[in-house]
Amino acid sequence: MKVSKGAMVRWKSSGGSAQGKVIQIATTGSLKAASGFEVKASEDNPAVRVQVYRDGKPTDVIVAHRMNALMALSAPPMGEAVLRLSALLNDPERIEMATRRVRTPEGARKYGKPIGSVIRPGIDLPVGKGRKGSSNPASGASKKPSRKMPPGTKFPSAQRQAAPPKDAPDADKPSAVDKVKKAARAPRAMSDVEYQRRADELSAALKEDWVKNGTDKKFSLDGKGKRWEKERARVHQQIVSEIYDKEFADVPSDGKALFSGGLGGAGKGTLLKSGRVEGVDLDQYGTVNPDDVKEYIAENFPDLVPESPVYESRMEASAMVHEESSHIAQMIAERAYAERKNIVWDITMGSEKSVQGRINRLRDSGYEQIDAVFIDIPVEVSVKRALTRHRRGAEELRAFEASGVMPRDPNGKEYTPLGGRFVPPSVIRAQQTDDGRSENVKAFEALQDQFDTWSLWDNSVDNRDAEKVREGKGRTPSSRQARARRERRQDASRTSGTAPKSASQRRKLEADRARLAEELGQALTEGFDPDNPSDKIATPEVLRIRKELARIRRELGLSGSVDRLKRHLLHL
């Protein structure tokens, strides 16, 4: 049988067999082994030098054979395969765990070795399958008397260690070897053609499900995602509390806000984390991102995401909770507004009207510093990166489901893959304008004068850091002074000129104002669903408190409306 250089081969040895890798082939002359033994070569039967492998690992032993004495191995030694798999799994301990060993009395009888002994593939053969009681010196085994015994004979070591009962807790638990074998059977990656077919299938399914099966159509009372069924609203409050406690617990209340805008895949989070944006320390901000809410729902509240045979994961179907995740994100933001927590709005800025509404809401809540960072990329680059991100997540989930081995992040920490979030290319391309730009960057440019500071970045080139294109200031000191003058004039028109002059009177009014504000917050919370803070309440008790508060605010010379105070108190 012909073999080539670099091939793994096996040959018979005294009492068994050995294996190794071909390192040299000669058709004329002769080849010498390390021991000095010489093998003559010919065209019909070349001479071959082989590096001996033990336990799947190369050794320094070199032997020489005729080619017709060698047998090609169809696969590399198991030890080498285990090494490669363990390296892929980033778990070196599994190398030792996955080494093939005698583990049961049946195995001890089969191989004629004590329980716990290493089984060397191709060298240690079952009793009666070629074992004569001694091995090739090249294999590293010393000569021993034959262990062939009458059928049914038990070795002392096997008698001492009985097999675990079938009902033992770990009897059905897969061993490390089983996991490594399962990892080897992981599905292959999809080809480009296969993935394109899969993307087309998902696009068609989401186009229909978005309209008919979106959770805002099924579970909101108004069909618009503003008022939700009671049980659904209760879960919303739980999600808001969990995310808010995680994101904003240690965030200072400096009244600073930052808009981070750009198409999907623009690299908004990467840029902010890099520390290259002047004056922005992410540790001092809490982030609100509707897409992060989708991922949180898929991981912690999967029952909220509708199921369908089309989707391989909750993340693929997460588009159906788009309006619901946006609603929850707004609730988180409202709670942060009430405490003037520093906040980052991580959004695409796809609508000028929507962004303007958020800016107005921040100003009304007392935020004095509102900045913006926009990362610009072409629409087709966004499409490509969105599909790449989905494909990577989908294949990662498939591999995990096949092998049971959790992937690791760059820091070596294991995590459970959720699959890829799929955004139909048609949705992204709908943002493209006639001049080849995006509605998103145009909305940002139209609102630049609303931000205290802003910067525009370009991140259209893969494997390159985003580059700053330009930056500027929108709200100049003169415009802020003009706003302050307008507010003072409005305050003067609201007051009756009866503001107390003594400090004791002011202290008393402040105490009354704090007491009434607490009473108003309690009345509003008890009398109304907090999911809908924009609605009005006109109960006698609320009207009485509002009237008293308005009087006190006039006497104190304070600006703003009670409605604004109400919105703040709802989220305390």
Give the pLDDT confidence score for residue 191 in this predicted structure: 87
The yes-or-no verdict on residue 431 having pLDDT over 70 is yes
What gap in Å lies between CA 488 and CA 301, rounded to an integer?
48
Last residue of a domain, one of 443, 475, 507: 475
Question: What's the pLDDT score for residue 268?
Answer: 93
Most confident of the ranges 95-99, 128-132, 316-320, 520-524: 316-320
Give me the pLDDT at residue 212, please: 82
Q: What is the mean pLDDT of residues 239-261?
A: 94
Mean pLDDT for all residues in the chain: 78
pLDDT value of residue 549? 82
Q: d(Cα 195, Cα 172) in Å, to the nearest integer?
A: 36
pLDDT at 533: 44
Alpha-carbon gap, residue 252 to 150, rounded angstroms: 80
Asked whether the predicted pLDDT for residue 90 surpasses 80, the reply is no
pLDDT in tens, 143-169: 444 444 455 444 444 444 444 554 555
**Beta strands 286-288 and 343-346, pairing class:** parallel
Q: Which residues contact 366 (CB under 8 A, 6 or more apart)?
A: 255, 340
- If one compares 152 and 296, the residue with the highest pLDDT of the two is 296
- Please tell me the distance from the alpha carbon of residue 400 to that of residue 414, in angstroms, as a whole number: 12
Torsion angle in degrees (nearest 10) through CA of 391, 397, 401, 403: 90
Three-class SS of residue 116?
Answer: coil
337 and 196 co-located in one domain: yes
| Residue 62 belongs to a domain | no
**The pLDDT value given to residue 492:** 59
Asked if 550 and 406 sit in the same domain, the reply is: no
Mean pLDDT across 41-47: 87
Domain assignment present for residue 26? The answer is no
> What is the reported pLDDT for 552?
81
- Whether 514 is in a domain gets the answer yes
* Angstrom distance (rounded) from CA 524 to CA 569: 8
Same-domain check for residues 223 and 331:
yes
110 domain-assigned: no
Contacts (Cβ under 8 Å, ≥6 apart) of 544: none
Which pLDDT score is estimated for 52? 86
56: helix, coil or strand?
coil
Nearest CA to 299 out of 388, 244, 248, 239 is that of 239
Burial of 477 (0-12, 13-18, 19+ CB in 10 A): exposed
**Measuring CA to CA, which residue among 286, 284, 291, 451 is closest to residue 374?**
451
CATH code of 278's domain: 3.40.50.300
**Residue with more model confidence, 345 or 133:** 345
For the four alpha carbons of 176, 179, 185 and 187, in that order, the dihedral sign comes to negative
Q: Check pLDDT > 80 for residue 197.
A: yes
Residue with tokens 């190794």: 20
pLDDT value at position 75? Answer: 47
Examine the domain organization and report whether 526 and 399 are in the same domain: no
Tell me what percent of the chain is helix, strand and coil, each rounded to the nearest 5. Answer: 45, 15, 40
Q: Which of 109, 102, 103 is nearest to 147 (CA)?
A: 109
Q: What is the pLDDT of residue 326?
A: 93
Q: How far apart are CA 16 and CA 12, in angstroms?
A: 6
- What three-state secondary structure class fits 454? strand
pLDDT band at 558 (very low <50, low <70, confident <90, very high): low
pLDDT at position 83:
47
Same-domain pairing of 257 and 365: yes
Q: Does residue 527 fall inside a structural domain? A: yes
Q: For the chain, what is the domain count?
A: 2
Question: Same domain for 301 and 373?
Answer: yes
Lowest mean pLDDT among 120-134, 353-367, 505-519, 522-536: 522-536
Q: What is the pLDDT of residue 370?
A: 94
- In this prediction, residue 185 carries a pLDDT of 53
Q: Tell me: the pLDDT tens digits for 457-501?
A: 999 998 888 999 999 987 665 555 655 665 565 555 555 445 445
Considering the domain architecture, whether residues 417 and 506 belong to the same structural domain is answered as: no
Mapped onto helix, strand or coil, the DSSP state of residue 242 is: helix
Quote the CA–CA distance of 564 and 512 in Å, as a whole number.
18
Q: Residue 358 has what pLDDT?
A: 94
Please check whether residues 362 and 498 belong to one and the same domain: no
Q: Are strands 256-261 and 343-346 parallel, antiparallel or unpaired?
A: parallel
User: Which of 223 and 92 is assigned the larger pLDDT?
Assistant: 223
188, 409, 489 from 268: Cα distances, Å: 32, 20, 40
Q: Is 80 exceeded by the pLDDT of residue 299?
A: yes
| Number of helices followed by number of strands (H, E) in the chain | 19, 13
Verify that 343 and 469 share a domain, yes or no. Answer: yes
The lowest-confidence range among 129-138, 434-443, 517-526 is 129-138
Are 251 and 395 members of one domain? yes
Asked if pLDDT for residue 230 goes beyond 60, the answer is: yes
Q: What is the mean pLDDT of residues 398-402?
A: 83
User: Do 470 and 505 fall within a single domain?
Assistant: no
User: What whole-number distance in Å separates Cα of residue 564 and Cα of residue 558?
Assistant: 13
pLDDT of 551 higher than 90: no
Please say if the pLDDT value at position 80 is more than 70. no
Same domain (yes/no): 449, 514: no
| Domain of 509, in residue numbers | 493-569
Residue 35 banded pLDDT, cuts 50, 70, 90: low
Q: What pLDDT, on the 0 to 100 scale, is given for residue 389?
A: 93
The listed range with the strongest mean pLDDT (20-29, 44-53, 84-93, 254-263) is: 254-263
Per the domain annotation, does 224 fall within a domain? Answer: yes
Please state the φ and ψ torsions of residue 236, each to the nearest 5 degrees.
-60, -45
Chain centroid, CA 465 distance in Å:
22
Task: Output the pLDDT for position 520.
Answer: 76
Domain-located, residue 204: yes
Q: Choose between 507 and 215: higher pLDDT.
A: 215
Assigned domain for 151 exists: no
Model confidence at 448, pLDDT cuts 50, 70, 90, reads: very high
Output the pLDDT for position 98: 55
Q: Residue 128: which pLDDT band, with cuts at 50, 70 and 90? A: low
| Candidate from 253-267, 454-468, 523-537 with smallest mean pLDDT | 523-537
In angstroms, the Cα distances linking 125 to 12, 17, 58, 121, 133 are 12, 9, 20, 8, 11
Mean pLDDT of 33-42: 78
CA distances (Å), 461 to each of 266, 267, 376, 424, 513, in order?
A: 10, 11, 11, 22, 56
Confidence bin at 133 (pLDDT 50/70/90):
very low
- For the cut 60, the answer to whether the pLDDT of residue 95 exceeds it is no
Angstrom distance (rounded) from CA 205 to CA 211 = 10
Region for 275 from its dihedrals, namely left if φ exceeds 0, alpha if ψ lies in -120 to 50, beta otherwise: left
What is the SS3 string spanning 477-504?
A: HHHHHHHHHHHHHHHHHHCCCCCCCCHH
Between 77 and 67, whose confidence is greater?
A: 67
Confidence grade of residue 562 (pLDDT, cut at 50, 70, 90):
very low
